[in-house]
Amino acid sequence: KSIEHQIIDKFMWGGVGDQVDNILTSKFGIVFLRFSSQEEMIEKTEQMQQLIRVVTDSTCE
């Protein structure tokens, strides 16, 4: 599954090679998504950890 086509805007900071001090609390950016219905929004919000992936090591891409 992909939600890439639903991204309407994003603001990202940091980049490849930047140090991540705490992977549980570090912020990487904000992503704005558009959904076709409230039901879709709820369903995909519950799956967000699987739908959006943050790559912190350039060798993992």
7-57: pLDDT as tens digits? 999 998 877 777 878 878 888 889 999 999 999 999 999 999 888 877 766
HSE value, Cβ hemisphere, 13 Å, CA-based, for 35? 10
Helix (H) or strand (E) holding 38: helix 38-46
Helix or strand or coil: residue 30? strand
Q: Are 7 and 33 in contact (CB under 8 A)?
A: yes
Burial of residue 3 (number of CB atoms within 10 Å: 0-12, 13-18, 19+): middle
- Does residue 58 carry a pLDDT above 80? no
